[in-house]
Structure 1
Amino acid sequence: MNLIRLILALAVLVHHSWPLTGAANEPIFAGETLGGWAVSGFFVISGYLITGSRFSHGLGDYLVHRLARIMPAFIICLATMVVFFAPVGYIVAKGSLSGYFGTATSPLNFFISNLTLKMNHYDIAGTPLNVPYSGAWNGSLWSLYYEFLCYLVVAALGCFAIFRKSPWFLTLLFGASVLAQANIDVINRYTNGNFDVVLLLKLLPFFLGGAVLFVWKSRIGIHWAPAVGGLVVTLLMVSAFPAWGGQASGVLIAYVTLWISTWLPQPKLIAKNDVSYGVYIYAFAFQQLLAVFGGDEWGLVLFSSAAAALTIPTAIASWLWVERPVMRRVRRKDHSPTPPPADKLLARPDRDSLTSADTVRTPS
Structure 2
Amino acid sequence: MRPGYYPGLDVLRIVAALVVFYDHARDWFTSGGQRWWFDDVFTSGVVEPLALGDHLGPLAISTFFVVSGFVITNAAFRESPGRFLARRAMRIVPALWVVLLIIWFVARAGVPIAVTGTADTSTLLTNLTLTNLFFSGEPALDAVTWSLVVQVVYYLYVAVTIPLLRRWPWLPSILAVALAGVLLSVVRAEVPVAAHTVRVVVTFLPILFIGQLIALVRLGKLHPLAGTAYGVLHWLLLVRGDLTSYFTPAVPGYPQSVVCIALLVIVCTRISGGEVAGRWVRAVANRTYAVYLVHVPVLYVTPHLLSTSAGTTLAFLTVVAGTAVTADLLHRVVEVPAVRLFRRWENRGQYTAERAPDDVAGRAEATR
2: CA distance, partners of 1:261 / 1:109: 47
Show the counterpart of 2:81: 59
Identity of aligned residues (%): 24
Residues in 2 aligned to 1:321 and 1:13: alpha-carbon distance in whole angstroms: 22
Q: Is the 8 A contact 2:104 2:119 kept in 1?
A: no
Match of 2:126 among 109, 113, 120: 113
2:123 aligned partner, one-letter code: F
C-alpha separation in 2, matches of 1:259 and 1:295: 48
* Cα-to-partner distance string for 1:222-276 (whole Å, 9 max, x where unaligned): xxxxxxxxxxxx9xx99xx825334566753431342356666254134146111
Code of the aligned partner of 1:169: L
Tell me the TM-score normalised to structure 2 length: 0.66
Give the equivalent residue in structure 2 for 1:271. Answer: 282
Q: 1:284 to 1:208 in 2, by over 3 A?
A: same
| Cα shift at 1:206 | 1.4
Which of structures 1 and 2 has the larger relative contact order (alpha carbons within 8 angstroms, sep 6+)? 1
Q: In the TM superposition, what whole-angstrom CA distance separates every residue of 1:148-187 from its partner, at most 9, and x where no partner exists?
A: 1111111112032xx213443355457668x849x95x55
Would the alpha carbon gap of residues 300 and 262 (structure 1) be closer, same or farther in structure 2, given more than 3 Å must change? farther
Partner of 1:89: 111
CA contact (8 A) 1:47 1:208 kept: yes
Distance in structure 2 (CA, Å) of the matches to 1:331 and 1:104 = 39
State how 1:195-214 maps to structure 2 within 5 Å: 195-214=196-215
The 1:180–1:18 alpha-carbon spacing in structure 2 relative to 1, beyond 3 Å, is farther
Change (3 A) 1:195 1:262: farther
**Pairs within 5 Å for 1:1-364:** 1-22=9-30, 33-84=55-106, 87=109, 89=111, 105-120=118-133, 138-160=142-164, 163-170=165-172, 172-173=174-175, 180=181, 186=185, 188-189=187-188, 194-219=195-220, 242=253, 244-247=255-258, 251-260=262-271, 265-272=276-283, 274-293=286-305, 302-334=314-346
Please say if residues 85 and 289 of structure 1, whose CA atoms lie closer than 8 Å, have aligned partners that are also in contact. Answer: no
Q: Is the 8 A contact 2:20 2:56 kept in 1?
A: yes
Provide the alpha-carbon RMSD of the alignment.
4.1
Query: 1:40·1:206 contact (CA, 8 Å) conserved in 2?
Result: yes
**Larger deviation, residues 34-43 vs 252-261:** 252-261
Which ranges in structure 2 are unaligned for 5 or more consecutive residues? 1-8, 34-39, 223-234, 240-251, 349-368
Q: Deviations over 1:106-158 (max 9, x none)?
A: 34333222111234599x9x9xxxxxxxx875312221111111111111120
Task: In structure 2, give the amino acid aligned to 1:105.
Answer: T
Q: What is the CA–CA distance in structure 2 between the aligned matches of 1:67 and 1:275, rounded to whole Å? A: 17
TM-score normalised to structure 1 length = 0.67
**Distance change (3 Å), C-alpha of 1:191 and 1:138:** closer
* Cα distance change, pair 147–301 in 1 and its aligned pair in 2 (3 A): farther
Unaligned runs of 5+ in 1: 93-102, 127-134, 222-233, 337-364
Change (3 A) 1:170 1:216: farther
Aligned residues: 294
Counterpart-to-counterpart distance in 1, 2:313 and 2:206: 33
From the superposition, tell whether residues 121 and 332 of structure 1 become closer, same or farther in structure 2 (CA, over 3 Å).
same
